[in-house]
Structure 1
Amino acid sequence: MTETKNQAADAAPGIPADDTTLRILSTSDLAGIDITLTDVVDTVEGAYRTLAAGRSDNPRKLTVRPADGHSVSYAMLGRDGSRNVVAFKTSYKNGLDKGRAEQHYYTALTLYDDVTGLPVAMMDCGRIGALRTPAVSALLARECARPGARSALVIGTGTQGRLALPFLLTTLPDLTRLMLCGTHPEGIAAVREHLRTHFPDRDLEIVTDLRAAAGDADIILATAGGHTTAAVEADWLKPGALTVLVGHGLAPSTLHRADRVVATSEAQMKVTGTDMADASGGFPAVDTEFPPVIAGVTAGRRSAEERVFAYNSGLVVTDIALGHRFAQLAIDQGLGQQVPLWR
């Protein structure tokens, strides 16, 4: 059921409920909300199912990038048909030509109740994206990995790399070998800490020979940043391997020589995945997008031996679903500030 502004007022006495105010949920507000990995996966999966059923809208994102490539900006609009929520998401990163410590990144999500016509909340979208993306990768792995997959390799130790393995184990609990390729000691420690927080009986193997590790892996998640030197080639992969591209760490050959290509959105892959294009700027045809795979309309893979490439680009409907879930939890706890924005 959609959370209306009047319901929000009941949950937080003294906060006015009208069309002149907007609830602002900060980074610290959202950081204090407990949510399980299973809850995140279920919420994201539900958003895909609603989209596949034709009940949600997820237009192609708009992109602005200066000629020198030092920054990139995205704007996304969408509607979740199961929650009756409309939302706008913006994303801006500056300093792509610099090291991670010198970069600036801001992302925000604004939700509106499409039944009452009232705003629900505006929130920092950092934690939403940090959870949504590895949840999507885990769902891609569940649907596209070969039967009996037991080994996984994560490339990168940034925001996406740190929760990749806990989410993978949530959808594929039978994985037995967990490998990590990273170069930053603090990042490696953070990946291990996140894994032990959610799965205290599991540990990971730090690998330095990327080619050998990639050749052993049933699932490879490439989450590294743009400055990485890691680039897994297609001929390193064993039959039946699944490669999932989130950030960087895969060479274009893994896409162009794949037996099957799955994308969360083919249109977005062509916008955000330009580094994977061939010499003429082209992409191979996508065999299926992911929403119909989740819905059981198409197959993530057709045989145990084919090498599958999956492109994980964020769909705003998944941000809306997870953002609305966080907004509900925040409202229940009386979090956030009510700002008289339209007075």
Structure 2
Amino acid sequence: MAPQDPAIPHDGTLRVLSTSDLADIDITLADVVDTVEQAYRTLADGRSDNPRKLTVKPTDGHSVAYAMLGRDGERNVVAIKTSFKHGLHESREQQHYYTTLSIYDDVTGLPVAMMDCGRIGSLRTPAVSALLARECASPEAGTALVIGTGTQGRLALPFLLTTLPQLDRLMLSGTHPEGTAAVRAQLDRYFPGREVELVTDLEQAARDADVVVATAGGHTTAAVEAHWLRPGAVSILVGHGLAPSTLHRADRVIATSEAQMQVTGTDMADADGRLPAVDVELPAVLSGAASARTSPAQRIFAYNSGLVVTDIALGHRFAQLAAAQGLGTEVALWR
């Protein structure tokens, strides 16, 4: 469990935390994992609420916006996360992306904080992948392969080593030198002395791997096939990099949320547009109500889609740390 959180002072003002405010907060990877895991456990216990998100998108598809409302029953807070991405037809450099999280205390009825949610997401997602890997990997797992060097790929290996410290071979499949350098830098930051092997033969790397985490962007040509995976392997889909066969031919399917997978995982559908049923969801596994793996040789497919309760828990943790350090700007918005 996460350490006891410091109290957040309430005086009716709203603490606004910018990107730079949050960048100054030091938090361990173990703290992030514990906070996210606690959010899943509370959801499984029925003490939190995570309704389906709302989406709006113009007919020409040039932008997309989401709104996600949730309640954390452990921390007794409610929050709204919004995301807006503009310029989807443009290059990445010309796109605009904004995501915010607004948190309110459900005991005092007062606001807690509003913050940029970029760093929250960049930490939450690889933490969830690491939890999936911990629960789904075979006991003998020693080799991990990460596909992609973008935002999610850069912290994937440090988080995997946090939950699976026995991993002794780390592989990376990526095509962007800048991204590869960033992956190496993050690994050295959290696990000095650990090396990552840059692979060019994706099929052979996948055949060697016990854990495969696919984080690549939508334009990737990487696509691991089911028959490449060894018995007992787990493949975790965050972005792209896995072929649909890894899902449809899996011995067992795990998801953070089956409902979200049915909505956001359509690119993995079969020729008839169908997705297979999910055997178990991650919250049930973490709560002890179900097991992720029921046989050592099972090839497991795991689908990582974000749940707003995890953003809320981690955002609240950052708000507490920010308050303790005096970070942010207090705004008397309602005065």
In 1, the alpha carbon distance for the partners of 2:206 and 2:123 equals 25
Give the drift of 1:236.
Answer: 1.3
Q: Does 1:270 align with 2:262?
A: yes
Give the drift of 1:68.
Answer: 4.1
Q: Does 1:174 align with 2:166?
A: yes
Give the drift of 1:3.
Answer: 6.8
**1:19-168 alignment runs, 5 A limit:** 21-168=13-160
In 2, the alpha carbon distance for the partners of 1:94 and 1:272 equals 19
**1:290-329 alignment runs, 5 A limit:** 290-329=282-321
Residue identity opposite 1:244 in structure 2: I
More moved, 90-99 vs 42-51? 90-99
Listed one character per residue, the Cα deviations across residues 13-43 of structure 1 (whole Å, up to 9, x for unaligned) are xxxx12xx32110000000000000110111
In 2, the alpha carbon distance for the partners of 1:98 and 1:237 equals 35
> CA 1:249–1:98 in 2, change beyond 3 Å: closer, same or farther?
farther
In 1, the alpha carbon distance for the partners of 2:153 and 2:141 equals 20
Give the drift of 1:64.
Answer: 2.3
| Residues 235, 302 of structure 2: 8 Å contact kept | yes
> CA 1:99–1:334 in 2, change beyond 3 Å: closer, same or farther?
same
| Residues 147, 216 of structure 2: 8 Å contact kept | yes
Q: Does 1:244 align with 2:245?
A: no
User: SS where residue 66 of structure 1 aligns?
Assistant: coil
In 2, the alpha carbon distance for the partners of 1:91 and 1:203 equals 35
Structure 2 match to 1:13: none
- Structure 2 residue aligned with 1:202, among 157, 178, 194? 194
Q: If the length of structure 1 is used for normalisation, what is the TM-score?
A: 0.94
Give the drift of 1:270.
Answer: 1.4
User: SS where residue 8 of structure 1 aligns?
Assistant: coil
More moved, 67-76 vs 255-264? 67-76
In 2, the alpha carbon distance for the partners of 1:229 and 1:100 equals 17
User: SS where residue 121 of structure 1 aligns?
Assistant: strand
In 2, the alpha carbon distance for the partners of 1:147 and 1:67 equals 48
> CA 1:181–1:59 in 2, change beyond 3 Å: closer, same or farther?
same
| Residues 5, 317 of structure 2: 8 Å contact kept | no
Listed one character per residue, the Cα deviations across residues 144-168 of structure 1 (whole Å, up to 9, x for unaligned) are 0111100000000011000000000
| Residues 6, 321 of structure 2: 8 Å contact kept | no
Structure 2 match to 1:226: 218
User: SS where residue 112 of structure 2 aligns?
Assistant: strand
Give the drift of 1:231.
Answer: 1.0
In 2, the alpha carbon distance for the partners of 1:97 and 1:142 equals 37
More moved, 80-89 vs 231-240? 231-240
In 2, the alpha carbon distance for the partners of 1:260 and 1:190 equals 33
In 2, the alpha carbon distance for the partners of 1:242 and 1:310 equals 7
Give the drift of 1:2.
Answer: 7.8
In 2, the alpha carbon distance for the partners of 1:73 and 1:67 equals 13
In 2, the alpha carbon distance for the partners of 1:67 and 1:231 equals 30
Listed one character per residue, the Cα deviations across residues 208-230 of structure 1 (whole Å, up to 9, x for unaligned) are 11111111111100001111111
| Residues 222, 247 of structure 1: 8 Å contact kept | yes
In 1, the alpha carbon distance for the partners of 2:260 and 2:60 equals 21
In 2, the alpha carbon distance for the partners of 1:36 and 1:207 equals 29
Unaligned runs of 5+ in 1: 10-16
Listed one character per residue, the Cα deviations across residues 116-141 of structure 1 (whole Å, up to 9, x for unaligned) are 00000000000000001000000000
Shift >6 Å, 4+ stretches: 1-4
| Residues 6, 324 of structure 2: 8 Å contact kept | no
- Structure 1 residue aligned with 2:203, among 207, 211, 218? 211
In 1, the alpha carbon distance for the partners of 2:207 and 2:55 equals 36
User: SS where residue 159 of structure 1 aligns?
Assistant: coil
Residue identity opposite 1:119 in structure 2: P
Q: Between the two proteins, what is the percent identity of the paired residues?
A: 75
In 2, the alpha carbon distance for the partners of 1:232 and 1:96 equals 26
In 2, the alpha carbon distance for the partners of 1:180 and 1:157 equals 8
> CA 1:211–1:68 in 2, change beyond 3 Å: closer, same or farther?
farther
Q: If the length of structure 2 is used for normalisation, what is the TM-score?
A: 0.96
Structure 2 match to 1:261: 253
In 2, the alpha carbon distance for the partners of 1:325 and 1:132 equals 12
